[in-house]
Structure 1
Amino acid sequence: MEDQAVSCYRHPDRETGIRCTRCERPICPECMVSASVGFQCPECVGQAHRMTPQPRTVAGGRVSHDPFLITKLLIGINLAVFLWVQAAGDKVVTDLGLYAQCGTDFTGHQVCIGVANGEWYRVLTSAFLHQQLYHIGFNMLSLWWIGAPLERLLGRTRYLALYLVSALGGSALVLLVAPNTLTLGASGAIFGLFGATAVFMRRMRYDMRPILVLLALNIVFSFTWANVSWQGHMGGLAAGTLTAVGLAYAPAHRRALVQWGTCAAVLVLSLVLTGVAVAQVTS
């Protein structure tokens, strides 16, 4: 026996003989959503979707359709800034690069420039600056090889937080040890990803020898090659490793709190060290 035609509950001006298989409310063709058996209304479909557990990454992040989106965006931003530097010249580097200096002018008054002049944005903008093709080429290849798998492991937001905190950690150590040297590049953030990769490989009991050998070679490179900021590398490595420990070993019942608390703690520590460095330069 067929249902008598009634009005769609969402569109009263439309008659229909179809009902939702879950709530039995009448629905018109526009409101019908195909189900395994019959059709369902939009409300029932939405409720079922909310009740279905969403897939999560190892670190508790959401699984995305494009697990490498943030890595692609970071590479794109770095490449765009590189092209800007090539087009506009060294002024972009001096305006956005990392340094902090103070001195006296001909009148005997103190004059400060860079981060020492309150330009704190440099601690982050410097991490997206590159001048030489080999510099950005090596860094972006490393970011893709190390960052893309790590983004899939962490999820977008945790991965982005790790990257930015690592960059700030690298900038903090640069300002503490070599504030007068103009420093730029994504290496500090990438070293943070190296450290995080080692932490998660340890957490998941993978063979750590490949990442440890790669990390050791990069550390040796940092201290032996000329014009390489070992301070930025080691600062980023320390910040990334500390952050990753919180991300990887957070207890399940308080995972988000511990993870974001760790990110915030390392961020605050980096900013405090930056403040100490600026105070030393300006004193």
Structure 2
Amino acid sequence: MIRIKRDEIYKILLDRENFYMKQYYSNFHKKEIFLAIKELKDGIYCILICDEENEQIDCLEAVQYIKTLGKAFSLNMIILSDKEEYTHADNSPMANKLVINRNRSSVIYCDNSCIPIRHIFENANHEKNVRGEEKFFKDKSLTLILMGINIIVFLLTAFLSGNFIDIDSKVLLYFGAKYNILIQQGQFWRLLTCAFLHSGLIHIACNMYSLYIIGPQIQQVYGTYRYFIVYIFSCIAASILSYIMSPNSLSVGASGGIFGLIGALLAFAIIERNRINKNYISSLIQIIIINLFIGLSIKNIDNFAHVGGLIGGITAGYITYRTMRKYNE
């Protein structure tokens, strides 16, 4: 559940429900307090948003102010609470109440007079959650697709291997692992297919977690199409350097492509270095160095693939981002 904020509620009242805003000085809070007001035939309909712990004093101050307007009024309070239930229904008898659990964005108490406000709040909350879900899938769409392909292929190879922890090398070879002898015989597709294979459960778990974290950032910066180009180019670049420098290895894994995505972020950061936080570049470089060091410290890690993917990502990222920025100018 996405929390809806106080100013967002007021904005909805202004934009959709024909309210206008007034403000008055609170002696208790020592600051200006906002009040939403809607003109009706028989008076004004007022909405005040406050915290539960200050409910009574906020109600008294609001009533004092509203009386100075010289009109018949109905005061309705949206009370934000941290509790699971509301036990102070008799407090602030001069106001109708809608009580919302601020952590879950759910209604825990509502007077009959506040039912229209409840509908406004719940509709707005629903719309915000829908927008949040749409944004989630929009920013992660390609990442989720790539993860899905990797996971499906892994499950298939694990089933055929009869082992989820350690995949049979013969199965990996059959499905397209990078193996120089077969590539030399014309099976060039292995330069790409190897990036969608993994040697075991821990291998794919680490790579998919990294892809899930880094991928959406690339999609936000480069867009889906360029993200795809950078990733595929990085995977192939990783395999090519591995082919040259590790001729006897049987290589699989998405880590070359993931290093490429980090490289693309570095390319973006370098191009936009005057517009972004200076620590961003240094943080990326630290991540790259740490991951390369980890690779050097563990056996059976194809570090040349990591370096190849990184170089490919920096190259593809720099070219595509420069092209994109030039096109948008």
TM-score class, shorter: 0.5 to 0.7
Q: Secondary structure at the match of 1:98?
A: coil
Residues 224, 155 of structure 1: alpha-carbon distance in 2 compared, 3 angstrom cutoff: same
Deviations 1:88-107 (A, max 9, x none): 12333011110112xxxxxx
**1-side partners of 2:147 and 2:137: how far apart?**
19
TM-score (ref. length: structure 1): 0.60
User: 2:171 matched to which residue of 1?
Assistant: 92
Quickly say closer, same or farther: Cα 1:251–1:145, change in 2 above 3 A: closer
**Among candidates 310, 315, 326, match of residue 237 of structure 1:** 310
CA distance in structure 2 between the partners assigned to 1:252 and 1:155 by the alignment: 12
| Separation in structure 2 between the aligned mates of residue 229 and residue 92 of structure 1, nearest angstrom | 19
Deviation at 1:165, TM superposition (A): 0.1
Question: Which piece of structure 1 moves more, 190-199 or 87-96?
Answer: 87-96
The 3-state SS of whatever aligns with 1:118 is coil
User: Paired residue for 1:81, among 153, 171, 178?
Assistant: 153
Greater Rg over alpha carbons, structure: 2
Aligned 1:181-196 pairs, distance under 5 A: 181-196=249-264
Q: Structure 1 pair 249/133, CA: closer, same or farther in 2 (3 Å)?
A: same
Does residue 169 in structure 1 map to residue 203 in structure 2? no
Match for 1:134: what amino acid? I
Equivalent position to 1:153, from 202, 221, 232: 221
Deviations 1:11-68 (A, max 9, x none): xxxxxxxxxxxxxxxxxxxxxxxxxxxxxxxxxxxxxxxxxxxxxxxxxxxx997121
* Offset from partner CA, 1:219-274 (integer Å, 9 cap, x none): 11122211100111000000110111112233755579xxxxxxxxxxxxxxxxxx
Unaligned 5+ segments in structure 1 are 1-62, 102-113, 257-283
Structure with the bigger percentage of strand: 2
User: Structure 1 pair 253/233, CA: closer, same or farther in 2 (3 Å)?
Assistant: closer
Counterpart position of 2:320: 247
SS of residue matched to 1:66: helix
- Matched residue count: 182
Query: What letter matches 2:146 in structure 1?
Result: L
Contact 1:85 1:131 in 2 (8 A): no
Equivalent residue runs for 1:51-90 within 5 Å: 66-89=138-161, 90=168
Unpaired stretches in structure 2, ≥5 consecutive residues? 1-134, 162-167
Please say if residues 139 and 219 of structure 2, whose CA atoms lie closer than 8 Å, have aligned partners that are also in contact: yes
Q: Deviations over 1:196-240 (max 9, x none)?
A: 111212333332222221111011112221110011100000011
The verdict on how the C-alpha distance between 1:247 and 1:253 changes in structure 2, with shifts beyond 3 A counting, is: closer
In structure 2, distance between residues paired with 1:129 and 1:155:
25
CA distance in 2, matches of 1:217, 1:64: 29
- CA distance in 1 between counterparts of 2:264 and 2:188 reads 26
Query: Residues 198 and 169 (structure 1 numbering): CA distance in 2 closer, same or farther, change over 3 Å?
Result: same
* Residue identity opposite 1:151 in structure 2: Q
* Preserved contact between residue 170 and residue 239 of structure 1 (Cα < 8 Å): yes
Quickly say closer, same or farther: Cα 1:247–1:226, change in 2 above 3 A. same
Note the C-alpha offset of 1:177.
Answer: 1.1
The equivalent residue for 2:77 is none
Contact 2:179 2:249 in 1 (8 A): yes
Question: More relative contact order in 1 or in 2 (CA 8 Å, sep 6+)?
Answer: 1
Cα shift at 1:116 = 1.4
For normalisation by structure 2, the TM-score amounts to: 0.52
Q: Match for residue 270 of structure 2?
A: 202
AA paired with 1:98?
Answer: K
Counterpart of 1:215? 288
In structure 1, what is the Cα distance between the partners aligned to 2:156 and 2:318? Answer: 36
The 2-side partners of 1:146 and 1:201 are apart by 14
> Which SS does the other structure have where 1:119 is aligned?
coil
Amino acid at match of 1:136: I
Classify 1:64/1:248 alpha carbon distance in 2 versus 1 (closer, same or farther; 3 Å): farther
Q: Which amino acid aligns with 1:185?
A: G
